[in-house]
Amino acid sequence: MEKQNYEECIQSCINGDEEACHTLYTEHVDDIYRFVMSKLQDKVRSEDICADVFFKVFEKLTDYDPQKWSFRTRLYRIAYTTLIDHTRKKSPIHCYDRLLDTASHHDQSLREQTNARVQRKEVQGFLATLSLDQREIFMMRLWDGLQYDEISYITWKSMDACKQGFHRTLKKLQEQCGHLTAFAILCSLIQTNI
């Protein structure tokens, strides 16, 4: 959806147009669900949080300023803060292991499957060494495909801090998993689509 269409759609939502609300919801629900699910690894809780996210989004539509951030970025920020609120109430869950371990290898030989599994385990071990902030920035950039300015807005960190954090993490990954090709590392990280 183009920027002008978003602005028209948002204005229609503010005016009570349920079809416009449905359009915004269907445009983004899959991305937000994947984002939440990648953190929680729990279908029911992820669905509940997604519902909360969209409730908050529609409730705060009048506060949205399209000149500052895209609607998508605003949506991710609300999802991020909702996850933080949720994990403060519950025990924090950030299961990147399962995110990386759910890829299917139907067409691969046993040797290729074993090699892929070993590579995933190495990358999982690497992710476990990262701080929560490092892991979040790294996964938002690679998994969610967010730009640095979007990650900065979502996490309340400066854009330079996000860039530095990502590049330091990438360098650390190359040092620890340098024997793996960049392609193998990225495949290990992005193999699945929750």
High-pLDDT (> 90) share of the chain, %: 21
Q: Which position has the higher pLDDT, 112 or 173?
A: 173
pLDDT (0 to 100) of residue 108: 47
In terms of domains, do 65 and 101 share one? no
> CATH code at 25?
1.10.1740.10
In terms of domains, do 103 and 79 share one? no
Using the 3D structure, point to which of 44, 74, 89 is the last residue of a domain. Answer: 89
Q: What is the number of domains present in the chain? A: 2
The CA-CA-CA angle for residues 39, 42, 45, to 5°, reads 95
Instruction: Using the predicted structure, report yes or no on whether residue 32 has a pLDDT greater than 90.
Output: yes
In terms of domains, do 102 and 174 share one? yes
157-166 pLDDT, tens digit each:
999 999 999 9
Q: Which position has the higher pLDDT, 6 or 60?
A: 60
Separation CA 173–CA 180 (nearest Å): 10
In terms of domains, do 49 and 108 share one? no
In terms of domains, do 55 and 130 share one? no
Average pLDDT, the chain: 78
Mean pLDDT over 168-193 rounds to: 64
Cβ(154)–Cβ(146) below 8 Å: yes
Q: Which position has the higher pLDDT, 22 or 187?
A: 22
In terms of domains, do 110 and 182 share one? yes
Mean pLDDT over 82-93 rounds to: 71
Using the 3D structure, point to which of 69, 89, 109 is the last residue of a domain. Answer: 89
In terms of domains, do 77 and 123 share one? no
Two structure tokens written together for 114 = 């074993």
Q: What is the pTM of this model?
A: 0.60
pLDDT (0 to 100) of residue 152: 92
Using the 3D structure, point to which of 89, 106, 126 is the last residue of a domain. Answer: 89
Q: What crossing angle do the helices spanning 71-89 and 43-59 adopt, rounded to 10°?
A: 130
In terms of domains, do 120 and 148 share one? yes
Instruction: Using the predicted structure, report yes or no on whether residue 26 has a pLDDT greater than 80.
Output: yes
In terms of domains, do 19 and 55 share one? yes
In terms of domains, do 16 and 85 share one? yes
In terms of domains, do 84 and 111 share one? no
The CA-CA-CA angle for residues 81, 82, 85, to 5°, reads 85
pLDDT (0 to 100) of residue 160: 95
In terms of domains, do 178 and 119 share one? yes
Range of the domain at 54: 3-89
Two structure tokens written together for 67 = 């000149």
Instruction: Using the predicted structure, report yes or no on whether residue 102 has a pLDDT greater than 70.
Output: no
> CATH code at 186?
1.10.10.10
